[in-house]
Amino acid sequence: MSQKPKNPTEQTQGNAPASSDAADKGNELSALTAERDNLQQERDALFDRLARATADFQNSRKRLEADKDQAIAFANSMLIKSLLPLLDNFERALAVDASKTDAASILKGMEIVHDQWVKVLKSQSLEVIAPEPGTPFDPSVMEALMHQPSEKYPESSVTQLVQKGYALLGRTLRPAHVIVSKGAE
């Protein structure tokens, strides 16, 4: 035999906490699901931004490498362009009939071309290293080919320039070849 509740309001009040807990849990679950969905969307957006930033970085790096390669490939173009008139003068000199030209005019032509070379190379910031006799030996810009005794110059000083050296923007390209004094014997 089943018992009936004495008061119909007791039945409603007894079931109310159970339905209220279920509703709260449902609302909480819905809120957690919505928060999870929002976090997943935010994560996906961040991954997308990271992928785009990485792609932009790689594209920039590739572009910079291409620009650098191009700059290296064309770095000497100004020098070569400035040397073309010298090449033209050499070709003109080679076209002259040697049997109809005297040595003095050939020498004069060579001096003109030499002066052009010097002018072009100086315009490209080339510096001549030509130490005078008596200059202290400097191994950063000179190379000693030999040592010889000298009454005239002190020890470790240049006695003779054998071959000029050259520097570009302060960096030695070829040291000057010199003979260095050992001092008096």
Provide the terminal-to-terminal Cα distance of the chain, rounded to the nearest Å: 140
Burial class (CB in 10 A: 0-12, 13-18, 19+), 178: buried
Phi, psi at 3, each rounded to 5°: -95, 140
Q: Report CA 171 to chain centroid distance, whole Å.
A: 17
At 139 the pLDDT is 94
pLDDT of residue 3: 54
78-82 long-range contacts (CB < 8 A, ≥24 apart) are: 78/124, 79/120, 79/124, 82/120, 82/123, 82/124
Below-50 pLDDT ranges, the chain: 1, 8-15
Does the domain at residues 128-185 carry the CATH identifier 3.40.50.720? no
* pTM to 2 decimal places: 0.59
> Based on the number of CB atoms within 10 Å of its own CB, is 41 exposed (0-12), middle (13-18) or buried (19 or more)?
exposed
Tell me the sheet residues that pair with 174.
166
Spatial CB neighbours of 172, under 8 Å, sequence gap ≥ 6:
129, 140, 141, 165, 166
CA distance 104 to 121: 26
**Domain ranges, ordered by start, for the chain:** 8-75, 76-124, 128-185
Q: What is the pLDDT of residue 10?
A: 47
Q: Could you give the residue ranges of the DSSP H alpha helices within 74-159?
A: 77-95, 103-123
Phi, psi of 128 (to 5 degrees): -90, 135
pLDDT (0 to 100) of residue 9: 47
pLDDT at 4: 53
